[in-house]
Amino acid sequence: MTDLERPVAAPRVPGLRRAAPALLGYAAVRALGLLTLAVWSAARGKNAYTLLTARWDSLWYARVAERGYGYEVRLPNGDVHSNLAFFPLLPWLERALHALTPLSYADAGFAVSLLASVAAAWGVFAVADLVHGRRVGVCAVLLWAVLPVGIVQSMAYSESLFTALAAWSLYAVLTGRWLTAGVLAALAGLTRPVGLAVVAAVWTVGVVSFVRDRSGGARDQGVGDGHGVQGGKRAPEVPSAAHARRVALTAGAPPWRRALGMLLAPLGVASYVLWVGRRTGRGPLGYLDVQAGWRNGFDGGYAFARFVVDKFTSITSAPAGVGLAVGVCLLLWLYLTGVRQRQPLALLVYTGVVLALALCASSYFGSKPRLLMPAFPLLLPLARPLARLPTGRSSLVTTGVAVAAAVYGAFWLNGSGPP
């Protein structure tokens, strides 16, 4: 048996030693953000910890953890804000941690968020490392940490928990661990409605792999520029030193594992939506009614487009309109760059759905930046050139952006509106 014919083992999950630079860098950025928030809040007579754990959505999650579902607020304009809009996994974890420790529900939410943010950073590194190598993985994690709304990663919100589950589910798909991918996708679906993006990624790659199996041309769907896998053996291409960590075994996994992973993936989001429908008496439309009470819906981006255009009706708000338009164009450019760079199919599908749900929803527009936070594959086209810079220069760039993000995060959370 030649080297080219040897079966390829699934890449191992990157251990702490391999991920340590990324995780240490992430911890440093988050510490800087929290310190800046503490100083800024103290100067304004506010409590930074309260901003992180006991305002806006974090209050709703803690109330679900403490009292369960059924609480709602009726506004003077007729809107009904029901806590059924909040998916249950984060409150379940808050309740469990509260029962096992002296922590309050708010404290438990903060602890879950901190732990989940580290797990998310590790997952982002694992995916980027698999696709582009260790240095790009480190840069991708740092870029995710220094996002302008990165402070949300330390709040008692569900973004960090969802990103952790999504990233590791995608990693499992890329490495042919279909049962793991299905379970994590189901948990992601119990965390946020955008869990549909993880389900879509699992199903798309699964369906493509079955089609290729049936057509007799089964090939790897893991890494866009990776080598093919057929019959558990390498395709006859020139091997590389990075091949062992880049190859995925999507088509090499037994069909029953792929099928079971696909069946497990939608159970989380489907079970909660159906439960809400039964509780409200509206069937599958019940959850949409709940979201409508919060003025949330999906209109294909019409409301957001009007919001951007309206910014150009006055000189004072025009710069904000320009910034929003540039931001949207940048997001689309990053996505198309990922397509041109042949990102894995799973990442493209996942990112595309996250983008569509965030940009085409008629929800509170101030929340769109944090709704886009789980779309971490958009950072890969930026991480690649950053990784090519000398270490000193890339560190200087990252530090500068981290300081700016910390200041912006402190300013943002001390504002009047929710993130």
- Give the C-alpha distances (Å, rounded to integers) separating 75 from 70, 294, 322: 16, 10, 33
**Cα–Cα distance measured from residue 249 to residue 11, given in angstroms and rounded to the nearest whole number:** 9
Residue 403: CB partners within 8 Å, gap ≥ 6?
A: 32
Residue 249: what residue type? L
pTM more than 0.85: yes
**Cα–Cα distance measured from residue 80 to residue 88, given in angstroms and rounded to the nearest whole number:** 19
pLDDT-derived band at 326 (thresholds 50, 70, 90) equals very high
Residue entry with tokens 């943010």: 117
The reported pLDDT for the residue numbered 236 is 36
Give the residue, 323 or 118, on which the prediction is more confident: 118
Residue 337: CB partners within 8 Å, gap ≥ 6?
A: 381
With contact defined as beta carbons under 8 Å apart, do 276 and 287 qualify?
A: yes
In this model, does residue 232 exceed pLDDT 70? Answer: no
Closest CA to 137 of 305, 348, 387: 387
**Cα–Cα distance measured from residue 83 to residue 73, given in angstroms and rounded to the nearest whole number:** 9
Looking at residues 21-36, what average pLDDT do you find?
97
Tens of pLDDT, residue by residue over 340-373, are 999 999 999 999 999 999 999 887 777 889 999 9
As a residue count, the chain comes to 419
Looking at residues 30-53, what average pLDDT do you find?
96
Tens of pLDDT, residue by residue over 172-187, are 999 999 999 999 999 9
Q: Where do the domains of the chain lie? A: 15-413
Tens of pLDDT, residue by residue over 155-212, are 999 999 999 999 999 999 999 999 999 999 999 999 999 999 999 999 999 999 999 8
**Cα–Cα distance measured from residue 180 to residue 171, given in angstroms and rounded to the nearest whole number:** 10
301 phi-psi bin (left φ>0, alpha ψ -120 to 50, beta other)? left
